[in-house]
Structure 1
Amino acid sequence: MKKTFSIILFSFLFISCQQTITPADIAKLNGYWEIEKVVFDKGADKVYGMNENFDFFKINGTRGTRTKVMAQLDGTFLTTDTFENVSVRFTDKGTFLDYKTDYAKWSEELISISDEKFVVKNEQNKEYYYKKARPVNLLGDGKETK
């Protein structure tokens, strides 16, 4: 009986600690993000050091785009015309980012979000931990980066 009570209490605490994501939180996705680490479904993880590729989100309300961009030595980002359409979907099971291209559709669950970090989980139960990208000016030319 004690073990059952402990399991129920632990489950309740775990569920109550999950972040409730509101429509106002979605605006925090806007900007440049880099993958910090990936946690696989078996618990192993892969930590990323310095990234040269970043994700740029531009979302207005519940619709927007995600574009892969590449960091440049002067602190700017090089972009292409390739992007993914993103729709934000709120359900009783969570908040989801639905992606669509001409070739594929997929979803990721938005687990948590703050001004500096966010976490998503894909359909293979991989969790992607992102951190806000900061421009780095390696040229040292004194110019401010955007």
Structure 2
Amino acid sequence: MKKITGVIIVFMLFIACKQTIQQNDITKIDGYWEITKVTFDKGKDKDYGMNETYDYFEIKDNKGIRKKVKPQLDGTYLVNDTYENVLVRFSDEGVFLDYDTPYMKWSEEIIKLSDEELVLINKEKTEYHYKKTEAINLLGDGKTIK
């Protein structure tokens, strides 16, 4: 009986700790995100110091794109025409980002989403931790960043 009670308590803690993503939270995804850490299924982490690329999300009405961009020292970004279509899907199991390219389709579940942090997990149980980022301007030339 004590074991069953312990399992129920642990299960309830797990459920209570999981963030519930609401429809109005999805707007927080828009913008530039820098990956900070990847946690693999076996519990090993790969930390990232500085990244050469950021992920840029633009989502409206649960549809949008994700593309890789390269920040420049003057606060601009190098971009190309390559992107992934993104569809936000709400289900009983969670909230998912469904990606679609001409070559592949895959999904990631949103585990955590705030103004400053995004955590996604894929079907291989690999977690991707992001932080919201802004343009870098190391030149200090006073120009307005677009």
Relative to the length of structure 2, the TM-score reads 0.96
After superposition, residues 110-125 of structure 1 pair within 5 angstroms as 110-125=110-125
Question: How many angstroms apart in 1 are the aligned matches of 2:144 and 2:45?
Answer: 35
Amino acid at match of 2:59: I
Match of 1:103 in 2: 103
Residues 54-100 of structure 1 show CA distances to partners (whole Å, capped at 9, x for unaligned) of 01100001100001100111011111010000001000000010000
Structure 2, gaps ≥5 residues long? none
Please say if residues 120 and 128 of structure 1, whose CA atoms lie closer than 8 Å, have aligned partners that are also in contact.
Answer: yes
Question: How many angstroms apart in 2 are the aligned matches of 1:87 and 1:79?
Answer: 21
Query: What RMSD in Å do the two structures reach over aligned CA positions?
Result: 1.0
Shift of 1:3: 2.8
Aligned partner of residue 69 in structure 1, secondary structure: strand
After TM superposition, the runs of 4+ consecutive aligned structure 1 residues lying more than 4 A away are: none
Shift of 1:132: 0.3
Q: Sequence identity of aligned pairs in percent?
A: 58
Match of 1:10 in 2: 10
Amino acid at match of 1:21: I
Question: How many angstroms apart in 1 are the aligned matches of 2:132 and 2:6?
Answer: 38
